[in-house]
Amino acid sequence: MKISYLPAQDRQTLRLLRQTRSIEEVINILKGVLSRSVLFHSLMEYRKWFFMIPEEQLIKNQELLYGKAMILFLQGKLQESSKYRELLTSKKYSLLYDFMASKLSLDEMEENVLEIADIFPKDYVELTGARPCAINGLWDFTRYGQELISSNESKLEKIIKVLYEDEADDIIDIMKAECLYQQNKCYEALVILLGKIPILERKKDIR
């Protein structure tokens, strides 16, 4: 399989995994992978080795439990993923999984936003052109659309500003436009986009 799109660090790690001769080596390498902000499409390339690890060894490692839970989630195997989520006792990995799986309420996100920001793998947004899957895909925040549209400073806006810093305003405007479009308010959506697109073009931002 061609993996040239992966970061160099992941390509090197995958080559190393192919040369391993023991489960202990595999476990140590995968724990190292999860100790950094691994890209989610990179994480999927490690799935073969996660599924190699015996269950009794997997449940002893919170990092590996989180990794396998996320892989299953990304594969759409939600029941199996939830089984591993229930075994997570680490606040860090529980919080990260629940945030990525859209299992936190707005109040819970707001309460934990600084911790989420600290562990949030910002580089995963390369999957959607340097952007989170905020509008479509697994991380769909449009269920909060009415609050986003009607409030000048909604809880969701505050959360996005902490997580995405300089890019937050652009993300919020695009989310608002999508929410308006879903409500058949196409004119209002176009007004936002027509004001935003020239700015994004000047920034060479391909969202």
What integer pLDDT is reported at residue 144 of this predicted model?
Answer: 64
What integer pLDDT is reported at residue 122 of this predicted model?
Answer: 55
What integer pLDDT is reported at residue 28 of this predicted model?
Answer: 92
To which residue do tokens 């690890």 refer?
53
Residue count of the chain, please give it. Answer: 207
Q: What DSSP assignment string belongs to 121-158?
A: -GGGGGGGTSS-S-SSSSS--GGGHHHHHH-TT-HHHH
What is the sign of the dihedral through the CA atoms of 10, 11, 12 and 18? positive
What integer pLDDT is reported at residue 178 of this predicted model?
Answer: 79
What integer pLDDT is reported at residue 140 of this predicted model?
Answer: 52
Distance CA 23, CA 17 (A): 10
What integer pLDDT is reported at residue 129 of this predicted model?
Answer: 34
Distance CA 23, CA 143 (A): 42
What integer pLDDT is reported at residue 40 of this predicted model?
Answer: 64
Q: What DSSP assignment string belongs to 59-91?
A: TT-HHHHHHHHHHHHHTT-HHHHHHHHTT---H
What integer pLDDT is reported at residue 41 of this predicted model?
Answer: 64
In three-state secondary structure terms, 121 is coil
* Nearest by Cα to 171 from 152, 184, 156, 181: 156
For the chain (207 residues), the mean pLDDT of every run of 10, in chain order, is: 65 91 92 73 86 92 92 88 94 85 80 80 43 44 66 76 79 80 84 76 58
E strand or H helix at 41? helix 40-45
What integer pLDDT is reported at residue 161 of this predicted model?
Answer: 82
Say if residues 156 and 107 touch (Cβ distance below 8 Å): no
Biggest alpha carbon–alpha carbon distance for the chain: 61
Exposure of 178 by Cβ count < 10 A (0-12 exposed, 13-18 middle, 19+ buried)?
A: buried
What integer pLDDT is reported at residue 149 of this predicted model?
Answer: 74
How many other C-beta atoms can be found within 10 angstroms of the C-beta atom of residue 98?
A: 18
